[in-house]
Amino acid sequence: MYDAIISHVRVSPEATTPIEVDPPRKVPPSKSAAGLPAIFSTAKHGLTKMGVLGSLSNLSRVNKFNGFDCPGCAWPDPDESRTFAEFCENGAKAIADEATKERAGAEFWSKWSVAELSKKPDHWLNRQGRITHPLILRENSNHYEAITWDDAFNRIAQEFTNLKSPEEAVFYTSGRTSNEAAFLWQLLARSTGTNNLPDCSNMCHESSGVALGQSIGIGKGTVKLEDFNKAELIIVVGQNPGTNHPRMLTALRDAKSSGASVVSINPLIETGMVRFKHPQNPLEVMGYGNEISDDHIRVRINGDQALFRGFAKAILSNHSEDTDFINEYTAGYENYRAEVLGTEWDEIVEISGVEKSEILRIGNLLGKSKSTICCWAMGLTQHKNSVATIQEITNILLLGGNIGREGAGLCPVRGHSNVQGDRTVGINHNPPTEFLDSLKNEFDIEMPRNGGLDAVESVKQMNMGNVGIFLSMGGNFLSAMSDTNATAEGLKKCRLSVHISTKPNRSHLVTGRASIILPCLGRTEKDYTGGKEQFITVENSMGVVHKSIGKRKPASLQLLSECAIVAGLATAIEEEVGISGIQWDNLVSDYDRIRDCIERTVRGFDSYNIRCRLDGGFYLPNDPRDSRIFNTENGLANIITHKLQPIFVKEDQFVMMTIRSHDQYNTTVYSTNDRYRGISNGRRVVMMSREDIEKRGWSEFQSVSITSHFDGKQISADKWTIIEYDIPPGNVATYFPESNVLIPLESVADSSNTPTSKSVVVTIDPAS
Ligand SMILES: Nc1nc2c(c(=O)[nH]1)N[C@H]1C(S)=C(S)[C@@H](COP(=O)(O)OP(=O)(O)OC[C@H]3O[C@@H](n4cnc5c(=O)[nH]c(N)nc54)[C@H](O)[C@@H]3O)O[C@H]1N2
Ligand SMILES: Nc1nc2c(c(=O)[nH]1)N[C@H]1C(S)=C(S)[C@@H](COP(=O)(O)OP(=O)(O)OC[C@H]3O[C@@H](n4cnc5c(=O)[nH]c(N)nc54)[C@H](O)[C@@H]3O)O[C@H]1N2
Ligand SMILES: [Mo]
C-alpha cells in the first residue's frame, strides 16, 4: 500500500547539472588551433563512437555536394572547390555524437527514474546514446516507458482539446531543424491558431536580426565567402572561431594570404585567433602554423559599443568617410556625427578598457581600408545594449560605404547549422504580415495575427500558468534558457511537454505533468519517408540554400523524420480539434511538395526544387549586398544613433560572461576538458585575472560561491573553483549551461529580449 502511494508521487528531478566532485586541473593550453592534437581528437571521437569504417564513411560525406550538411555550425562551404575533408575537429565531434553506436533504448529508461537521471552530469546523459523509441512519462510516474507512435500522437492531440485558447500551446524550435521540417512546424503552430514560436535564435542572434533589420532592412549579413579573399581588413569581434567555427579559420588564413589584415576584439586571447594550423595541410600540421590575427584588442566585457564609438571618432576626425555613399544611400549621418564627436575620449577609454592610442590605430586602419568585413557572434549579441552595439558597428561600415561592395560587409556568424534557414521559412514569433497573407493564400485557412511568445516570454507565461503544452522541435530548452530554476518551475506548470529529440538531455527530465519524447532521424541518416529516399535543405550563414542527404542506416527502425513527426502530430491534432484541409501526408510523402509550398510563400525560392539540386545550391536574394537596396521604411540605410550604455558595477562586483568550452556543443557536453584554454577535469570554474585574485587575498583553486544581482533580485550558486586566467580585471568567465542558473530571467537585451548571457553582474564570495 505504502509503495503504491510512493510510486504515484514523482520525485522531483534536479534542474541543474550536479556539482562536480573532483577538482578541475590546469594543463598547458594548446598553442595553436587545429594541427595534430585536433586530428587526434577527431580520430578519438570518431573511432570510439562510430568505429573505423563508420568514421571513414561518415566523415568523407560531410559538406560534399552529394553528402550531408555538417550539423556543427552554419559556416558556409566553398562554392566550388571542396577538399577531400571539408570538416573540422568540432564538426567531426558533432557527427560522431549523432552517429554514436550507443543506444538509450526503452530498457535504459525503465532502469533509471527521471530523478536518478537528473543527478547524472550532462556528458553522462549525452553518452547514453540515441533514443530509439517514442517514450512517455505519465503523470506522477518516475519512469519513461515505451509507447507506440499512434498512442503518442493521440495523447498529444487530446491535450490540445484541454487548451482554453490556442495561445496556451508553445512550439519551440532549435536551429538544426531543416527548412522542410521548420516550415511544417510553423504551419502546424499557426494552423492550431498561435504564433507562439520561440526559437534558439531568441537566445542567440536575435539582437543581430533586430539591429540589422532596422539599420539596413534585412536581418542577415551582407557578405559571401568569396568576399574574404577580396577584403583589406577583417574584424572578428566577440567570437571564438577556433572552437565554434573552426572552418572560418581557413577562410581567415586564405584572406591573409590574399593581403587582408585581421583584427580580433575580445576580452580573451582565444587560441584559434593566435595561431592556426590547417588540419588538411600536412606542412602546416607539422609546422608552427599561421598567425591569424595581426592585432588583438583586449576589450572589456561589453566595452564594444564604446570601442566602436572611438573608431568612429577616428574616422570622422580624419575625414575618411565615404561621402558619396553616405549622401546617396544613408539617413541619420549628421545626427550620428554630432553624437560621436560629442562623446569624450575619457568615457570611451573608461568603458572599453582600451587605450586611446590603440583605438586610434585601429580606427585609422578602418578609415584607410577600402573593403572591410566585420564578423561577430555571441560576444556581441547577449548584452543589454547588444542592438545598440551592433548598430554602432553597422554605422562604421556605412561610414566607409562597406555594404554592397566586393570584399566588404557585415557578417554575423550564425551558430546552429540551420538557424538562419528556420527563420527564413517562418519560425518567427513576430511574423511579417505579408508572410501570413501568403500562407493564408496557399492553404486557404485564416492565420493568427497576434504576436507570439519568444523564449523569455514563454517562460514568464508558463510561470503564470498560461501554457498548457510545451512542444519542442529539437534543442534543450531547460538548459539553454537563462534562469534555470525559473525555467524549470515554468516547465513543471505545463500539463504536457513534448520533445522531438535525438539524444537524452535535461529537458526530458524536468517536464510538464506528463512528458513525451518523439525520437527522430538525424542529419546523417537515410530518410525513406513515404517509401522513397528524401533529402532536406538548409541555409548557411551567408544565405546559401543547399541540399543535405543522409546516408547512414538509422539508429533505430522506430525513428521517424522530423517532417513525418510533424505530419503525424498534425493529423492527430486535427482529428481532435478540426480539419484544416492541409494535406499533411501528401506533403511529407515527397519533400519536393513542401519545397513547392515554400517557393510560393517565401521570397527568393524560385525554382527551389531545381536549384537546390545544383552542386552548392543557390544564394537567396540579399538586396543590400546585391544592389544596395535597403528595404527600410525610408528606403535608406539608417545610421542609428545611441547613447553609450555602460554597465554600472559596484566596487565589489564583477561582470561575468558565460561561454563555451572547446569540448561542448551548446548544452551537449562531450567532456569536462577545455584543451584550448588549458583547463581539464572540471567545468564549474570561474576564470579570473591574477590581479583580482591577489587584490582580494584569494588563491587559485579556491572554492567560491557566485551571486548575480539584477534589479533587486539575487541568485546564488556555490562550489565554483577559481582558475587564474588572462582576462581583464573586473571581468570573469564561466561555462554555460552550468552558469545559466545565475542569469535572471528578467535580464534581457533591449529590443531583442535576448538573455544577457555575456553580461551578468555578480559578486563572488569565498566558500565558508
Ligand atoms: N564546437 C562548437 N561549435 C559551435 C557551438 C558549440 O557550442 N560548440 N555553438 C554554435 C552556436 S549555437 C553558436 S551561437 C556559436 C557561438 O560561437 P561564439 O559566439 O564564438 O561562442 P561563445 O563561446 O559564446 O563565445 C563568445 C566569444 O565572445 C567573447 N566575448 C564575450 N563577451 C564579449 C564582449 O563583451 N565583447 C567582445 N568583444 N567579446 C566578448 C568570448 O571571450 C568568446 O571568445 O557557435 C556555434 N558552433
Ligand atoms: N548562458 C548561456 N546560455 C546560452 C548561450 C550562451 O552563450 N550562454 N547560448 C545560447 C545559444 S547561442 C543557443 S543557439 C542556445 C541553444 O539552445 P538549443 O538549440 O535548445 O540547445 P542544444 O544544446 O543545441 O540542443 C541539443 C539537443 O538537441 C537535440 N538534437 C540534436 N540534433 C537534433 C536533430 O537533428 N533533430 C532534433 N529534433 N533534435 C536534435 C538533442 O536531443 C540534444 O540534446 O543556447 C543559448 N543559451
Ligand atoms: Mo546559437
Question: What are the pLDDT digits (tens) for 403-461?
Answer: 999 999 999 999 999 999 999 999 999 999 999 999 999 999 999 999 999 999 999 99
**Which residue in this structure is represented by grid cell 598553442?**
31
Query: What is the predicted pLDDT for the residue at 513?
Result: 97
Probe residue for ligand 1, chosen from 202, 208, 244, 418 as the CB with the greatest number of ligand atoms within 8 Å: 244
The protein residue whose alpha carbon is closest to atom 12 in ligand 2 is: 204
The half-sphere exposure of 262 on its side-chain side, counting CA atoms within 13 A, is 27
Residue 376 CB–ligand 1 contact under 6 Å: no
Ligand 2 contact via 503 beta carbon (within 6 Å): yes
Query: What would the pLDDT profile of 120-174 be if each residue is shown by its tens digit?
Result: 999 999 999 999 999 999 999 999 999 999 999 999 999 999 999 999 999 999 9
Q: How confident is the model at residue 84 (pLDDT cuts 50, 70, 90)?
A: very low
Does ligand 2 have an atom closer than 6 angstroms to the CB of 754?
no
Provide the residues around ligand 3 (an ion) whose CB is within 5 A.
204, 415
Residue 568 has pLDDT above 90, yes or no: yes
> Which of 413, 437, 457 is the last residue before a domain boundary?
413
Question: Are 388 and 259 within one domain?
Answer: yes
- In this structure, the residue with its CA closest to atom 32 of ligand 1 is 379
Q: pLDDT digits over 345-396, tens only?
A: 999 999 999 999 999 999 999 999 999 999 999 999 999 999 999 999 999 9
Is residue 326 domain-resident?
yes
Stretch 11-24: mean pLDDT, rounded? Answer: 90
Exposed (0-12), middle (13-18) or buried (19+): which is 125, by Cβ within 10 Å?
buried
Do the bridges between strand 135-137 and strand 144-146 make them parallel or antiparallel, or are there none, so unpaired? antiparallel
pLDDT at 11 over 80: yes
- Whether ligand 2 lies within 6 angstroms of the CB of 563 is answered as no
pLDDT number for residue 1: 36
Q: What is d(CA 633, CA 636) in angstroms, rounded to the nearest whole number?
A: 8
Considering the domain boundaries, does residue 600 fall inside one? Answer: yes
| Nearest ligand 2 atom to alpha carbon 477 | 20
Residue 2 belongs to a domain = no
Query: Would you place residue 68 in the very low, low, confident or very high pLDDT band (cuts 50, 70, 90)?
Result: confident
- 385 and 463 part of one domain: no
Instruction: Give the number of the ligand closest to the Cα of residue 203.
Output: 2
Q: Find out whether the beta carbon of 266 lies less than 6 Å from any atom of ligand 1.
A: yes
- CATH code at position 687: 2.40.40.20
Beta strands of 451-495 (E only): which ranges? Answer: 469-473
C-alpha cell at 285: 600540421
3-state class of 677 per DSSP? helix
Report how far ligand 1's centroid is from the alpha carbon of 378 (Å). 5
What is the number of the ligand 1 atom nearest to the C-alpha of 241?
20
What residues pair up with 703 in beta bridges, in sequence order?
Answer: 721
68 CB within 6 A, ligand 2: no
Read off the CATH number of the domain in which 243 is found: 3.40.228.10
Does any ligand 2 atom lie closer than 6 A to the CB of residue 477?
A: yes
Rounded CA Rg of the chain: 25
- For the CA of 758, the nearest atom of ligand 1: 32
pTM (2 d.p.): 0.96
Asked whether residue 153 is domain-assigned, the answer is yes
Kind plus residue range of the DSSP H or E element containing 547: strand 544-548
Hey, whose CA ends up nearest to atom 3 of ligand 1? 244
What confidence category does residue 5 fall into, taking pLDDT thresholds of 50, 70 and 90? very low
> Ligand 1, residues 176, 658, 659, 738: which to mutate, most atoms within 8 A of Cβ?
659
310 lines ligand 2 (CB under 6 A): no
For atom 39 of ligand 2, the residue with the nearest CA is 474
Kindly tell me the burial class for residue 604, based on how many C-beta atoms sit within 10 Å of its own C-beta (0-12, 13-18, 19 or more).
Answer: middle
CATH number at residue 126: 3.40.50.740
Q: Which of 370, 388, 413 is the last residue of a domain?
A: 413
Same domain, 269 and 394: yes
Give the pLDDT mean for 213-236: 97
First to last CA, the chain: 44
Let me know if residue 335 belongs to a domain: yes
Per-residue pLDDT tens over the stretch 489-517: 999 999 999 999 999 999 999 999 999 99
C-beta of residue 507 within 8 angstroms of C-beta of residue 494: no
Tell me the pLDDT tens digit for each residue of 608-628.
999 999 999 999 999 999 999
Domain stops at, among 391, 413, 435: 413
Which ligand is nearest the CA of 413, by number? 1
Amino acid code (one letter) for 44: K
Query: Phi then psi for 687, rounded to 5 degrees?
Result: -80, 130
CA of 603 to the centre of ligand 3 (A): 25
- Check whether residue 399 and residue 495 sit in a common domain: no
The closest-lying atom of ligand 1 relative to the alpha carbon of residue 175 is 12
Is 176 near ligand 2, meaning CB less than 6 Å away? yes
Q: Residue with the nearest Cα to atom 36 of ligand 2? A: 474
Range of the domain at 758: 654-766
pLDDT of residue 2: 40
Band of pLDDT at residue 276, cut at 50, 70 and 90: low
**Cα–Cα distances in Å, from 266 out to 21, 235, 271, 736?**
32, 11, 12, 18
Q: Is the CB of 728 under 6 A from ligand 1?
A: no
**SS3 letters for 683-727?**
CCEEEECHHHHHHCCCCCCCEEEEEEEECCEEEEEEEEEEEECCC
> Is the Cβ atom of 498 under 6 angstroms away from ligand 1?
no
* Any domain includes 65: no
Of the ligands numbered here, which is closest to the C-alpha atom of 264?
A: 1
For residue 474 and ligand 2, the question of a CB distance below 6 A is answered with yes
Minimum-distance ligand 2 atom for the alpha carbon of 502: 42
Asked if 251 and 180 sit in the same domain, the reply is no
Domain for residue 46, yes or no? no
CB contact set of 586 (below 8 Å; sequence gap of 6+): 593
- In this structure, the answer to whether residues 698 and 753 fall within a common structural domain is yes
- Top pLDDT among 596 and 88 is at 596
Instruction: Write the residue with the smallest CA distance to atom 17 of ligand 1.
Output: 244
Asked if 235 and 115 sit in the same domain, the reply is no
Q: How confident is the model at residue 292 (pLDDT cuts 50, 70, 90)?
A: confident
Is 409 a domain residue? yes
363 lines ligand 2 (CB under 6 A): no
Q: Specify whether 725 is located in the same domain as 577.
A: no
Q: How far is the CA of 239 from the centre of ligand 1 (A)?
A: 5
Say yes or no to pLDDT of 35 above 90. Answer: no
Let me know whether 262 and 354 are in one domain. Answer: yes
Nearest CA to ligand 1 atom 46: 415
246 and 283 share a domain? yes
Ligand 2 touching residue 130 (CB < 6 A) = no
CA of 536 to the centre of ligand 1 (A): 27
22 pLDDT band, cuts 50/70/90, is: confident
Q: Is 206 in the pocket of ligand 1 (CB under 6 A)?
A: no
**Structural domain count, the chain:** 3
Q: Are residues 544 and 683 in the same domain?
A: no
